[in-house]
Structure 1
Amino acid sequence: MIVTGDDRLHTLRVGQLTPDGVRLISVRGDSAVVEIDGKRQTLALGQRVVSKSSPDERARIVIEGDSRGHFVVPGTVNGASMRFLVDTGATAVSLSAADAQRAGIDYKKGLRGQSNTANGIAPIWIVKLNSIRVGGIELSGVDAAVHESEMPFVLLGMSFLNRMQMTRDGSRLVLERRY
């Protein structure tokens, strides 16, 4: 199931196209590959998520909440694929050292600091991301915190979300780029 720019949920067969041009390429186990504007994107099970905007609209995405009410969405940091968890409680986009390295970030050149996490105080490095993309929204120069501990997701924190208009509609979260 895919949520598209027309804000409708579509169930597709492989090869089928939604009215606004999102094509289902393949389904394998717990993931699906879709094609949007010629670019392929892999979605994990439960990520009934993707929105496509037409060029004359402000960039926006619609994220369907999972069974626990979390908003998980695929995207990229500096072109490297990541899974993001929308986290309004995180001051900045937060990623693990392993994710930072996959994205080509030399995080130890960043500003060293500390973060108060649910697990206590943790050392971090503050960096600027060259590029962060979620759906059709791409931003540059976004502050991020790199943690040396493992993290199951990249936290999509307020350094990204502050540039969005966020609207909750039932089990959906709509992010629309403000600037």
Structure 2
Amino acid sequence: MHGLKLLCASLLLAVMGQAWAAPQVRVVGLFPGAAVLNIGGQRKLVKVGQTGPGGVLVVSADSRGAVLRVDGVERAYALSREYSGGYAEPNKQQLSVAKGAGGHYWVAGSVNSQPMQFLVDTGATSIALNDGHARRLGIDYRAVGRPMQVSTASGTVRGWKVDLNSVKVGTLEVLGVEAVVLEGGSPTEALLGMSFLSRIGWRVEQDVLMLESKH
């Protein structure tokens, strides 16, 4: 009888241990009406009212946090840092960008500490600005830039290659970034090209653009 009690106790501890070992739930990206969940290492963008890996339901989500229903219990989650192999990487900064209007990735950032909205363009060799952007940023590109010819969809236009002191999106900042200022109003939006993206890590997972520092 004593042995049976010990066996039952061992089985109970084993079951409890399995419960304690349940996959950890982290919110690693936040958007209006959606959250990027990392559950047991599986990352997925889940909209409000839908369930993600492990049956986790997103009850609400905005830029401040998300409410998730896990195993029938609702709890508020703040944005969490990513971990790799169970070990924290405190120096690695990350940013998740959901696909926006027109199937493009839009991200708010800054140039030389001044706010700038970017359209992410992995096909652009560098950051591209029009002369209106440059004037707003106080960049006298004709005086400090190196003149060049740039081929666009509407033909060849004059451009000037300049160096930006700093470009920042989220917590990701790169110093001394090459950019091209085009004469006229094109491109309409500032393009975040490879002169920035190549100096950080980036990948696309399930329509979510993941940006992260390399160190």
Q: How high is the TM-score relative to the length of structure 1?
A: 0.71
Task: Give the whole-Å Cα distance in 1 for the aligned partners of 2:208 and 2:198.
Answer: 18
Return the offset for 1:57: 4.0
Determine which structure has more spread, i.e. the larger CA radius of gyration: 2
Task: Give the whole-Å Cα distance in 2 for the aligned partners of 1:107 and 1:122.
Answer: 15
Instruction: Tell whether 2:61 aligns with 1:11.
Output: yes
1:155 to 191, 196, 210: 191
Query: SS at the partner of 1:141?
Result: strand
Query: SS at the partner of 2:103?
Result: coil
Matched to 1:132, the amino acid is V
1:1-179 alignment, distance < 5 Å: 1=32, 11-12=61-62, 17=65, 19-20=77-78, 56-108=90-142, 109-150=144-185, 151-178=187-214
Task: Give the whole-Å Cα distance in 2 for the aligned partners of 1:133 and 1:126.
Answer: 19
Matched to 2:62, the amino acid is L
Return the offset for 1:167: 1.4
Question: Contact 2:108–2:116 (CA<8 Å) still a contact in 1?
Answer: yes
Question: Contact 1:5–1:52 (CA<8 Å) still a contact in 2?
Answer: no
Higher helix proportion, which one? Answer: 2
Question: What percent of counterpart residues are identical?
Answer: 35
Evaluate the alpha carbon distance shift between residue 113 and residue 66 of structure 1 in structure 2; reply closer, same or farther with a 3 A threshold: same
Task: Give the whole-Å Cα distance in 2 for the aligned partners of 1:146 and 1:3.
Answer: 35
Q: Which residues of structure 1 form unaligned runs of 5+? A: 22-50
Query: SS at the partner of 2:139?
Result: coil
Matched to 1:12, the amino acid is D
Aligned residues: 148
Question: Contact 1:165–1:178 (CA<8 Å) still a contact in 2?
Answer: yes
Return the offset for 1:12: 3.5
Evaluate the alpha carbon distance shift between residue 52 and residue 4 of structure 1 in structure 2; reply closer, same or farther with a 3 A threshold: farther
Instruction: Pick 1 or 2: higher relative contact order, CA cutoff 8 A, min separation 6.
Output: 1
Q: Which residues of structure 2 form unaligned runs of 5+? A: 1-31, 47-59, 67-76, 83-87
Partner deviation per Cα, 1:152-176 (whole Å, 9 max, x = no partner): 2110011001112221111101011
Task: Give the whole-Å Cα distance in 2 for the aligned partners of 1:103 and 1:160.
Answer: 18
Partner deviation per Cα, 1:43-100 (whole Å, 9 max, x = no partner): xxxxxxxx97898141221110014321011111112211101111111100111111
